[in-house]
Amino acid sequence: MGSSQEIFEKYHIDEELGFALPKPLEELPPPYDEWISIAKNLPELIEKNKLRERVDQLQIHSIDGLKDHKSQRLAHLTLGYITMAYVWNQGDKDVREVLPKNIAVPYCELSEKLGLPPILVYADCVLANWKKKDPNGNMDVLFWFPGGDCCKGFFLVSLLVEIAAASAIKVIPDLFKAVTNEDQNALQKALRYIASSLQQARKEFEKIHKYVDPNTFYNVLRIYLSGWKNSSKLPKGLKYEGFSDTPREYAGGSAAQSSIFQCFDVLLGIQQQSGEESAARFLQEMRKYMPPTHRKFLLSLESGPSVREFVLSKGDTELRADYNECVKAMVSLRNYHLEIVRKYIVDPSCQQANKGTGGTDLMTFLKSVRDTTKSFKLEK
């Protein structure tokens, strides 16, 4: 697998930020500054019901002027925000089934170039949607939807969870090297570091209660994260005018599109239940919503030596305990995610079953993932 430095370069992973985009661009040159202007003023344009009018007036811009990766990522983020706002506008009462060509054509072309779908994905709204607000390191988002500070808080807490967990990526080469060399001490050290990073991620997750109001999230923000796959509002999907004659279906942004937790599932040998409507199938599908280099990174981990098999073969109580701490930390994160979904989605909706923005029956999916993760704890 190479050194951690080789991993970071080959798979576009940052040593400090993991899968998050380091120092995202904040502005684009003309003519793309038109897009930025709309995205920066989305809440106001939506409130005044002027958003669609502004978008309809746009010229079609060629994406040829977007030469480098960071400018392409910013453009994808910007067009993703504009697309969600155009489709859903002031809620789900007046939904558009066609994205006009002046946005649809550059968005689809850019998406093909980046290997991402033409919808706002986690890699956009969380991993590339941030900036340093001041020299103290306080962060802000580049763009937000209606919902104000609640919307900003949701994206930033998600980013902090991601960064905390991602700090363990640098020990992955040590982990594989330890298994290959049968170096138990080095393996235990790497496992303890991973467990600690996952525990820190869980602490960061707790900040959501401070910054995100459940009613605002459910009644205002959530619709803008919803996709057009398994959608009752857009049962056929969305037509991208000028690019595709038939509507396309895409899932909305979802934490399942984060590479970091799939990464630790692979490392720990946690395999989700397979089958037609399974969690494993859905998580595999969500990889299509990740940047291609991050997908390749997960594949490279799958071809590495099995940490779980090595721990099992050694029959060492202390080694098993260190492995189990990692599994417990994953279970703890997934338990907490369930609590958050209950508080922010199930309770405000006054229903027991809800589809997630990714299009799944959310509680069923999360319970399945949590319970499977729990089952991979080793007997001492």
Mark the binding-site residues, compressed into ranges: 337
AA letter at 272: Q
Annotated binding site for heme b: 337
Q: Give one DSSP letter per residue of 118-159, joined into a string.
A: SS--HHHHTTSS-EE-STT--EE-S---TTHHHHHHHHHHHH
Query: Are the beta carbons of 191 and 318 closer than 8 angstroms?
Result: no
- Closest C-alpha to 222, from 114, 357, 332: 357
b/e map of 1-31 (b: 16 or more CB within 10 Å)? beebeebbeebbbeeebbbbbeebbeebeee
**How far is Cα 79 from Cα 60, in angstroms, rounded to an integer?**
12
Query: Are the beta carbons of 139 and 131 closer than 8 angstroms?
Result: yes
What does the CA dihedral 33, 35, 40, 46 come to, rounded to 10 degrees? 150
The region, left, alpha or beta by phi > 0 then psi within -120 to 50, assigned to residue 374 is: alpha
First-to-final CA distance of the chain: 30
Query: Are the beta carbons of 377 and 327 closer than 8 angstroms?
Result: yes
Q: Which two tokens stand for residue 170?
A: 């640098």
**How far is Cα 20 from Cα 275, in angstroms, rounded to an integer?**
31
Beta strands in the chain (DSSP E): 98-99, 131-132, 139-140, 239-240
Q: Which two tokens stand for residue 253?
A: 């942004």
> In whole angstroms, how far apart are CA 310 and each of 13, 193, 305, 330?
27, 18, 8, 20
